[in-house]
Structure 1
Amino acid sequence: MKALLLLTLLALCHAKPYKPINVMDFMKNNDIMQQDAGDDDDDDNDDYDDYDDNFDSNCPEWCRCSKRVLQCSDQGLTKVPKDIPANTVLIDLQNNDITEIKEDDFKGLNNLYALFLLNNQISKVHPKAFRNMDKLKILHLSYNELTQIPENLPKGIQSMRLHDNKISRIPKGAFKGMQDLNVLELSANPIANSGIEPGAFDDMATLYLRIAESKLTAVPSDLPSSLNELHLDYNKIGKLEAEDFLRLKSLQRLWLDFNQINYVENGTFAGIPKIREIHLDNNKLKKVPPGLNTLKYLQVMYLHANRISYVGVNDFCPLRARVKKTLYTRISLFANPVKYWEIQPPTFRCISSHNAVQLGNHRK
């Protein structure tokens, strides 16, 4: 269940421009109706078929109700509806004109599991708006006008999406105590390195972090050590240093494409021994980064659209034949000024098949 939820949330993270979430499909794929552990109702499987049945006669105006789902998307609402039934597990308020989340908008909704507020005009969230929402796991606030991260977020959130806002600062302790976070999406916000305060990610754990399309000029320091996947693509990072990834021992996938990287310090990747996939395409590298041949589990390496003119015989594979290495399934080197006919045959001795390497002429 957790793996399925994570895959679904990751798929949603790249939705740009705004694409509405099909709430009913989301519920079915993630068994939302089964999330209320305190509900012993044996008829949960019928909730999807009863979508047009009201909670009671007081379903909020302009909304559609099922037993525990409130859908009010695309209604031109300027504020959160009142009198939402207390047993609600999912609220869909996508694509409205809501400008503010007030203190009591979600008061008493202690069973809420998912809250979709995408594509509104929200610029302000009251510090107590999410109080007592201990069961909230999914909070999506993307495509709004937020200038700061909401305060006092529920600790149990698993998916937090804040991309495409106007957030420029991540204060110390912004995600304090969030140990169950699977996905944190902060892309397309004007976040610079100076806007990430020391301790911004203290006392939190997340598997997936994306700060793409921002104003980063270097890899942020003190990133969560729990990370499995890190996306810093479409920034202005100029170089990678040995200290950048020292804390990320569990990192398996790294996106640094579409930056301005022209230098990778020796030992930079030594701190991420479990890495399986690295994206360094569309940068300004003049040579293959050092240390790739020491990464035991590396299978996918994207280096296309750089300025690499030479590939050494030991750039990718271990020096010693007896050293165990997971075979590469993809090495891309096309759109570089390298003369591929000069590359020595043993250079790719640790690939899974000849189709795993992508070469080609450099075209201006």
Structure 2
Amino acid sequence: MLCPTLSIFLLMCLPAPAEPLPFQQWDLTDLGKTVDVKSLMMLMMVNDEEDGSADREFNPPPEHPTCPFGCQCNLMIVQCSDLGLHHVPYDIPPDTRLLDLQGNQITEIRENDFKGLNNLYALVLVNNHISKVHPRAFFPLRRMQKLYLSHNRLMSIPRNLPPMLEELRIHDNHIRTVPSRAFYGLERMNCIEMGRNPIRNSGLEPGAFDGLKLNFLRISEAKLTGIPKDLPDSLRELHLDQNQIQAIELEDLRQYGELYRLGLGHNSIRHIEYGSLFYVQNLRELHLNNNLLSSVPAGLPEMKYLQVVYLHSNNISHVGVYDFCPKAFSVKKTFYNGISLFDNPVPYWEVQPATFRCVSDRMAIQFGNYKK
């Protein structure tokens, strides 16, 4: 199952455990205000081939094919983006699989807007002015797997989401609360992107993610002051960048032992309690850049599979010979292929070469560029 990460193309997958991660800085600031429909079409076709949907019998096409005025309709794909629409068009072909309505002026999703679209796979509503979704609006969409509602004006998560939904992007709205059992029954949900919403820790009600087996969750650019509790323990990627987190306490990561990638950059983290990283032994990539750390976090040498560590733009003034690599060399299962320490007051000429004895290549270490 594909799990989109931080790429606007929506197709990037988690690496397999045995594959090294590339040393590159992910763009954690924004996912853009448009969806790459071509990539989504490719993903839809791959999905159809994998689950046999390509051979599924759909509703027979109408005798006289229809297409909403101004839209482009071809091969069960209806593109109505950037047309200044104020409502969802009423004459969408019933065999539509991908409906693109991004970049319009839609303010409300009404009860019967998607009536008859039983075969819809993906719905793109990015960059509209939607503030209201009728609680029964998604009832006809029994097979829909992708829903994109980012860059709108929603105050809450829509009710009665489609039961087959695998990916929900609701980035950049006005959501403050994720109520208990908000996603209950969505057993196939794999990826939720809900960054840039004014969500506080108190806004994540107990049981909000009950029943989910997520791989990917992003709550960046919110108002979190700590790592949330009771998120799905199945998570492989958790991105909490650009919040107000000040510390990582001992129990904060206890239930997230399956994490491969953890994003905590652009916070105000000063302290990481000793032993707190013990619970994420499968971690491959750790983002702690742009924080207030004064030392390299304890526990990195014991993380056997850790390959990439972002520590740039902190207050680290000393790097010890055992900060990254274990004393017993055989304990480290994979070499680092990226350690960033630039924009720190580290006198790099004083760092002993043996400090990076478990790094794959000298080019994987980044020093210098400290701004006084």
Using structure 2 for the length normalisation, give the TM-score.
Answer: 0.88
The answer on 1:31 being equivalent to 2:45 is: yes
1:187-198 aligned within 5 A: 187-198=195-206
Match of 2:365 among 333, 343, 357: 357
Task: Measure the CA separation in 1 of the matches of 2:52 and 2:70.
Answer: 30
1: distance between equivalents of 2:337 and 2:159?
44
Larger deviation: 114-123 or 127-136?
127-136
Residue in 2 aligned with 1:326?
334
Residue 62 (structure 1) shift? 2.7
- Residue of structure 2 aligned with 1:182, choices 190, 205, 208: 190
User: Which structure is higher in RCO with an 8 Å CA cutoff and minimum separation 6?
Assistant: 2
Instruction: Note closer, same or farther for the CA distance 1:250–1:363 as it changes in structure 2 (3 Å cut).
Output: same
Asked if the contact 2:10–2:39 (Cα under 8 Å) also holds between the matched residues in 1, the reply is: no
2:22 alignment counterpart: none
Alpha-carbon distance in structure 2 between the residues aligned to 1:217 and 1:81? 42
Please list every run of 5 or more consecutive structure 2 residues that lacks an aligned counterpart in the other structure: 14-26
8 Å Cα contact 2:68-2:89 kept in structure 1 = yes
Which secondary structure does the structure 2 equivalent of 1:31 belong to?
Answer: helix
Where do 1:127-138 residues align within 5 Å? 127-138=135-146
Deviations along 1:11-30, whole A, 9 cap, x unmatched? 69968474433424431354
Partner of 2:21: none
Aligned residues: 353
Matched, 1:210 2:218: yes
Q: Does 1:9 align with 2:24?
A: no
1:114 aligns with 2:122: yes
Are the structure 2 counterparts of residues 357 and 17 from structure 1 closer, same or farther at C-alpha, using a change threshold of 3 Å? Answer: closer
Counterparts in 2 of 1:81-230, with a 5 A limit? 81-230=89-238
Instruction: Indicate if the aligned counterparts of 1:54 and 1:64 stay in contact, CA closer than 8 A.
Output: no
Partner of 1:40: 55
CA RMSD of superposed structures (Å): 2.5
The one-letter code matched in structure 2 to 1:222 is: D
Q: Is the CA contact (8 Å cut-off) linking 1:54 and 1:65 kept in structure 2?
A: no
Distance, in Å, in 1 between the alignment partners of 2:202 and 2:247 is 17
**Correspondence for 1:48:** none
Give the fraction of aligned pairs with identical amino acids, expressed as a percent: 50
Q: CA deviation at 1:70?
A: 1.6
Distance 1:185 1:60, change over 3 A: same
CA offset digits 1:136-184 (Å, max 9, x no partner) = 0110001110000001112321221000111111111111122322321
- Cα 1:17–1:225 shift into 2, 3 Å: closer
**Partners in 2 of 1:189 and 1:108 — Cα distance?**
32
Q: Distance in 2 between matches of 1:41 and 1:256?
A: 43
CA distance 1:316–1:24, change in 2 (3 Å): closer
Please list every run of 5 or more consecutive structure 1 residues that lacks an aligned counterpart in the other structure: 43-52
SS of the residue corresponding to residue 354 of structure 2 reads helix
Partner of 1:65: 73
Counterpart CA distance in 1 for 2:366 and 2:53 is 54
Q: Comparing 66-75 with 297-306, which one deviates more in the overlay?
A: 66-75
CA distance in 1, matches of 2:316, 2:141: 52
- SS at 2:291 equivalent: coil
Report how far residue 68 of structure 1 moved.
Answer: 1.4
Name the CA shift for 1:358/1:67 in 2 (closer, same or farther; >3 Å): closer
